[in-house]
Amino acid sequence: MASEDAFKPALLIIDTQNDFCGPDGSMGIPQGRSIAPVVNKLLDLPFFLRVATKDWHPRDHISFASNHSAPDNKPYDSFVTIANPLNGSEKQTTRLWPDHCIQDTPGADIIAEIDQGKLDMVVEKGQDPRVEMYSVFGDPFRNPQVTRSGLAETLKINGVTDCYVCGLATDYCVKSSVLDAAGEGFKVWVIKDGVKGVDTQGCEQAFAEMEKAGAEAIQSDGMEIERVKHWKT
């Protein structure tokens, strides 16, 4: 068991992909591209692991409005109830989206502004067409969970204690990843000036949920980042 003062930090950069950034992304998040300087500043720090995540969807993904029948297939406005393919009694409702981050397309690429040469890992998620997967750790089903990325296991095997999270979007994939990271037992820090979300009200609710789960919201120039600068391996 790690001692109480153990500290080994990892950086999680969530879904900074072309389709989530304007002006050409299929579902650009307002000012999504503007977080790149903050992300690059964080990549310069001596994190034990620097992990980027990517939505990596097949064309028949269940979250795409185009894969559902009219009239209940309007991107952003329509919702679908998904049954756990391993347990039909467990269900979850999710919003339908425009086609985005399709495997092997430019829209799925990490934006060029991010210094990808400093990444240690890229984790692709959302590859199972049957389930939504906002969180980098796994899909939202629990009885049983359908798919896991293996990231939690990688972090634990390497003794990571703290996850510092930035990226897109605050009220969806960032929030879900943060909640799962906290649930896996990591101390979680959400870098407020390193995230952007879909809508203001959703972001406010997301921060409330993340803080209730034990995550702390910080700034990229705060004292919590200073600890990363000076930690010893």
Secondary structure of residue 184 in the 3-state scheme: coil
List the catalytic residue out of 19, 55, 99, 125. Answer: 125
E-assigned strand segments in 100-182: 121-125, 162-168
Identify any residues that bridge with 80 across adjacent strands, giving them in sequence order.
Answer: 94
Q: How confident is the model at residue 233 (pLDDT cuts 50, 70, 90)?
A: low
Q: What is the DSSP letter of 177?
A: H
Residue 101 appears among annotated catalytic residues: no
pLDDT in tens, 52-71: 999 999 999 999 999 999 99
Catalytic residue among 15, 55, 139, 162: 15
Cis status of the peptide bond prior to 106, with omega within 30 of 0: no
Give the number of other Cβ atoms within 10 Å of residue 101's Cβ.
Answer: 25
Cα 173 from chain centroid (whole Å): 4
- Residue range 103-120: mean pLDDT, rounded: 98
Half-sphere exposure of 226 (CA within 13 A, CB side): 3
Mean pLDDT confidence for 26-45: 97
Mean pLDDT of 10-18: 98
- Find, among 57, 48, 46, the residue nearest to 15 by Cα: 57
Question: Does the structure show a pLDDT above 70 at 19?
Answer: yes
Task: State the Cα angle at 65 between 63 and 71, rounded to 5°.
Answer: 135
Residue 173 falls in the annotated catalytic set: yes
Beta partners for 82?
Answer: 92
Enumerate domains of the chain plus CATH numbers: 9-58+103-230 (3.40.50.850)
pLDDT at 2: 44
Q: Across residues 112-122, what is the average pLDDT?
A: 98
Active-site position among 99, 173, 196, 203: 173
147-192 pLDDT, tens per residue?
999 999 999 999 999 999 999 999 999 999 999 999 999 999 999 9
Mean pLDDT of the chain: 96
Nearest CA among 77, 168, 180 for reference residue 136: 180
Mean pLDDT of 72-81: 96
Specify whether 163 is catalytic: no
Q: What is the pLDDT of residue 232?
A: 74
| pLDDT in the model for residue 215 | 98
Residue 1 has pLDDT above 90, yes or no: no
